[in-house]
Amino acid sequence: MSPRIITGTAQPVRGITVGTAGLHTGTDNLTLLAMAPGATVSAVFTRNSCCAAPIHVARQHLHGPTATRYCLINAGNANAGTGAAGIQDCLQICAWLAQECNCAPQSILPFSTGIIGERLPMEQFRAALPELCKTLQAEAWQAAAQAILTTDTVPKLGSAAWRVADSPACMTGMVKGAGMIRPDMATLLAFIATDVAVESGYLQDCLRHAVDRSFNRITIDGDCSTNDAVVLIATGQGPRIDADHGEGFRQTLEKLCEELALMLMQDGEGVTRVMEVCVTEGLDEDECTRVAYRIAESPLVKAALHSADPNWGRVLAAVGAAGITTLDPQRLCITIGDTAVFKDGAACVADAAALSAQLSGARCSIRIQLGRGTAHATILGCDLSCEYVRINAHYRS
Amino acid sequence: MSPRIITGTAQPVRGITVGTAGLHTGTDNLTLLAMAPGATVSAVFTRNSCCAAPIHVARQHLHGPTATRYCLINAGNANAGTGAAGIQDCLQICAWLAQECNCAPQSILPFSTGIIGERLPMEQFRAALPELCKTLQAEAWQAAAQAILTTDTVPKLGSAAWRVADSPACMTGMVKGAGMIRPDMATLLAFIATDVAVESGYLQDCLRHAVDRSFNRITIDGDCSTNDAVVLIATGQGPRIDADHGEGFRQTLEKLCEELALMLMQDGEGVTRVMEVCVTEGLDEDECTRVAYRIAESPLVKAALHSADPNWGRVLAAVGAAGITTLDPQRLCITIGDTAVFKDGAACVADAAALSAQLSGARCSIRIQLGRGTAHATILGCDLSCEYVRINAHYRS
């Protein structure tokens, strides 16, 4: 049975408290996530060669000998492109927070999202941290999911409950992401917590696997922004996951990540519809992924999708441009919704109005059969709208 | 001395006549380019695996034993995604035209641009061809440059005159391209003629070299659409190009291709400004090209450019996402116009209004020094506007 994810609300997780406060602005844009001692933490970080200061610091703290106790997230300023000074700022903030919380600075993982290239407002951090620590409570996920946002329009969170043998277990996650039409340029931050007890190496394997099938399926070439991170915390206050119960845990994690990734797409800048691009019958997963990205990234396909125009010729051109030199167009099949539009090397007779109707909902599907093998891959894409251009042309003004 | 290209008008080329006629619509969208016997012809075709019927036919005719005498171009219908029937249509049209012109069908190179997936209006072709042949004249380049357009807004042509020893030589070219923000999805067609006499292999080398430094510098990953082609004709009615005079010919060809490519960008769909992305100090040309494309293709960089927003953080993120894992951000330098914005791992102090002014003209430049070596590459990109989305969301309606 597939795990059921409840989205929009969040169940508290035993061993986790969260709190929010405001830097300079009237709204809360500073979030603290605290975990009780004994938690196991895994994370996946951006592979961007110019990654932000907090990524350097969080990676170092996570992989050092000190157990992680806090995640600190600020929205509005990415602390990226800030060089050695940015790293110093980040370490200073960890030191201040450590003093407030009476813990080691190395037990704090810092995360930032927002404008690149500006220094953090240090005095405002110093002023806000004491208040932030006082707001920690188990029930504040909703406020936290709001406080981590930048140009997102809605908080994005979800929870799942399942049973490990006879014991109840739960998992809750929140995510933010702005320019989700090209997530490699935006910052994707996700924080997921579960009350089960999981061995550290296994936790990392599960997270990597789930991210590859969710957040990395909406990301171009597996690239990330300067600040991307996905964090998974297992507090160990619920049942223990061993070999017998691993499957339920993995499935729940993967499903929750998929749902959070879908929410990201739906709240993408200027997005009016999400397209699932499913490529099958490839020689290997790599070529399927390349074809799917080529389609999902094509501005022409995306613009046509925006007006529900079934201009499948652009899909064909994208398939042909994916670099599979031995592709045989005679064996290729393109399906929009449930209607084949290209088969046996030529257009199928199809009713344009009916095709357009298949594209005009909030979700639609484009399926490509390559006729070469048995591999497959699915990517989520979205339409390209004037609203996207407007948001990104004037993000700073 | 760099060759001087006169754009906007076209000098007739000895041995070349052109003519235009209309298929179905009121405006001319059918073009014939005829060359006197003895011409040498080279072409570069799309590498798209799903290339259009006319590309198959033109490639076969060009590489067959029959000398090329005609290029036939129709705009509005790409004859792509039309399978074996599309190839039959194309061969039939060549046969009809051959009858009219009293030549072998194999001496005709067909080209199409427009909607993918629809069959050509055959009866309209049959009706238009006799009239088309009667319109051939040396002076009609301007009308032809107009007739090959699809969503382009202006005809794009240019001419150059130079001397080979003491003899005058000339070269004239026309080009069309629609979705020039992503030319790999649009159709780029260019026809260039010169009156010099050039040996066939040398002509092909010169064309490949010039295309790599012009049309392929505005194209993503060297991909092309289903229909892309660049044709170069040397009629041989002017002076002969030998080893001593090759350089002037090559330079003229390269410069003309560069000017035509720039005109394509300037007339790109919804384009308000063109950016030159120049990447230097790379280990090799390949990594410079990858970084340049990553920037020029980034929707976030392009949207910021549209509003002349000097949001160089997006440029930094694009550089970091180009997959150079050994990149050292400390050695990276980013310059907008003539102002360094990122250096020594951190932001430079710069006046935002002055920076914005550097981005607000019709041309602007972004320069990246990778600090790794001596290789370099330059790519032309452009802004992303609502107008682009509007055009491409409603291309067929």
Q: Where are the domains of chain B?
A: 6-266, 274-393
Q: Does B306 touch chain A (CB under 8 A)?
A: yes
> How much is the pLDDT for A392?
76
pLDDT confidence of B227, banded at 50, 70, 90? confident
* Cα B273 off chain centre by: 18
Which candidate, B142, B82, B134, B132, places its Cα nearest to that of B112? B82
Pick from A21-25, A319-323, B6-10, B34-38 the range whose average pLDDT is largest. B34-38
Which candidate, A248, A235, A29, A275, places its Cα nearest to that of A145? A29
> How much is the pLDDT for B135?
96
Q: Does A343 touch chain B (CB under 8 A)?
A: no
Catalytic residues of B: 187
pLDDT value at B138 more than 80: yes
Lowest mean pLDDT among A378-382, B215-219, B300-304, B326-330: B215-219
Share of chain A above pLDDT 90, in %: 66
Instruction: Check: CB of residue B72 under 8 Å from CB of residue B135.
Output: no
The mean pLDDT value of chain B amounts to: 90
> How much is the pLDDT for B220?
46
ipTM above 0.90, yes or no: no
Q: Residue B305: closest CA among chain A residues belongs to which residue?
A: A393
Cβ contact A394–B309 (<8 Å)? yes
Contacts of B336-343 with C-beta under 8 Å, sequence gap 24+, read: B336/B310, B336/B312, B336/B364, B336/B365, B336/B366, B336/B367, B337/B364, B337/B365, B341/A117, B341/B310, B341/B312, B342/A81, B342/A117, B342/B312, B342/B315, B342/B316
* SS3 (DSSP) at B54: helix
DSSP 8-class letter at A239: P
pLDDT confidence of B186, banded at 50, 70, 90? low
* Cα A245 off chain centre by: 26
Residues facing B112 on adjacent strands: B74
Cβ contact B345–A312 (<8 Å)? no
> How much is the pLDDT for B219?
58
At residue B354, what are phi and psi to the nearest 5 degrees? -65, -40
CATH 3.60.70.12 fits A6-266, yes or no: yes
Alpha-carbon distance of A172 to B18, in angstroms, equals 69
Across residues A299-310, what is the average pLDDT? 88
Cβ contact B396–A309 (<8 Å)? yes
* DSSP string covering B344-375: TTEEPP--HHHHHHHHSSSEEEEEEE-SS-SE
- Angle, in degrees to the nearest 10, between helices B246-266 and B200-212: 40
A339-374: b (≥16 Cβ within 10 Å) or e: ebbbbebbbeebeeeebeebbeeeebbbbbbbbbee
The CA distances from residue B267 to B33, B127, B250, B262, in Å, are 24, 32, 26, 9
Residues in chain A, overall count? 397
pLDDT confidence of A222, banded at 50, 70, 90? very low
> How much is the pLDDT for B395?
54
Alpha-carbon distance of B299 to B7, in angstroms, equals 30
Q: Does B55 touch chain A (CB under 8 A)?
A: no
Cβ contact B303–A51 (<8 Å)? no
Q: Does A242 touch chain B (CB under 8 A)?
A: no
**Residue B303 to chain A, least CA–CA distance (Å):** 5
pLDDT confidence of A213, banded at 50, 70, 90? confident
pLDDT confidence of A177, banded at 50, 70, 90? confident
> How much is the pLDDT for A270?
82
Lowest mean pLDDT among A385-394, B19-28, B35-44, B174-183: B174-183
Structure-derived torsion over alpha carbons of residues B183, B185, B187, B188, reported in degrees to the nearest 10:
20
Which candidate, A73, A47, A98, places its Cα nearest to that of A190? A73
Cβ contact B182–A299 (<8 Å)? yes
Place of tokens 């003309």: B256
pLDDT value at A184 more than 50: no
Across residues B276-283, what is the average pLDDT? 97
- pLDDT tens for residues A77-87? 999 999 999 99
Cβ contact A48–B347 (<8 Å)? no
Contact list, A223 vs chain B (CB under 8 Å): 321, 323
Share of chain A above pLDDT 70, in %: 95
Cβ contact B299–A300 (<8 Å)? no
Catalytic residues of A: 187
> How much is the pLDDT for A180?
45
At residue B28, what are phi and psi to the nearest 5 degrees? -70, 125
Closest Cβ–Cβ partner in B49, B299, B316 for A50: B316
Q: What is the helix (H) or strand (E) element at residue A207, kind and residue range? A: helix A200-212
Q: Does B304 touch chain A (CB under 8 A)?
A: yes
Test the A interface: residue of B223, B294, B300 with most A CBs within 10 Å: B300
Lowest mean pLDDT among A55-64, A263-272, A387-396, B232-241: A387-396
Pick the CATH number of A274-393 from 3.10.20.340, 3.40.50.720, 3.40.50.1000, 3.40.50.300: 3.10.20.340
Q: Does A222 touch chain B (CB under 8 A)?
A: no
Top-confidence residue, A370 or B187: A370
* SS3 (DSSP) at A176: strand
pLDDT value at B1 more than 70: no
* SS3 (DSSP) at B251: helix
Across residues A140-167, what is the average pLDDT? 92
B-proximal residues of A, 252-281, CB under 8 Å:
none
Test the B interface: residue of A389, A390, A396 with most B CBs within 10 Å: A389
The CA distances from residue B270 to B57, B151, B266, B384, in Å, are 33, 11, 9, 7
Cβ contact A346–B82 (<8 Å)? yes
Q: Residue A118: closest CA among chain B residues belongs to which residue?
A: B347
pLDDT confidence of B179, banded at 50, 70, 90? low
The type of residue at A194 is T
- Angle, in degrees to the nearest 10, between helices A285-297 and A299-306: 60
Closest Cβ–Cβ partner in B51, B118, B386 for A386: B386
Place of tokens 């909703």: A142
The type of residue at A8 is G
**Residue A177 to chain B, least CA–CA distance (Å):** 14
Q: Residue B326: closest CA among chain A residues belongs to which residue?
A: A49
Structure-derived torsion over alpha carbons of residues A138, A139, A141, A146, reported in degrees to the nearest 10:
-130
The type of residue at B286 is D
Alpha-carbon distance of B397 to B391, in angstroms, equals 10
> How much is the pLDDT for A224?
59
B192-210: b (≥16 Cβ within 10 Å) or e: bbbbbbbeeebbbebbeeb
Lowest mean pLDDT among A205-209, B242-246, B308-312: B242-246
Test the A interface: residue of B48, B50, B283 with most A CBs within 10 Å: B50
**Residue B237 to chain A, least CA–CA distance (Å):** 39
A-proximal residues of B, 65-94, CB under 8 Å:
78, 80-86
Which candidate, A33, A58, A34, places its Cα nearest to that of A45? A58
Q: Does B116 touch chain A (CB under 8 A)?
A: yes
> How much is the pLDDT for B222?
47
Alpha-carbon distance of B243 to B199, in angstroms, equals 11
Closest Cβ–Cβ partner in A117, A332, A342 for B347: A117
> How much is the pLDDT for B178?
58
Closest Cβ–Cβ partner in A51, A186, A312 for B117: A312
* Cα A19 off chain centre by: 21
Which candidate, A72, A85, A187, places its Cα nearest to that of B313? A187
> How much is the pLDDT for A1?
56
Query: What six digits make up the tokens of A319?
Result: 């398939």
Closest Cβ–Cβ partner in B85, B318, B322 for A185: B318
> How much is the pLDDT for A397?
38
Alpha-carbon distance of B246 to B248, in angstroms, equals 6
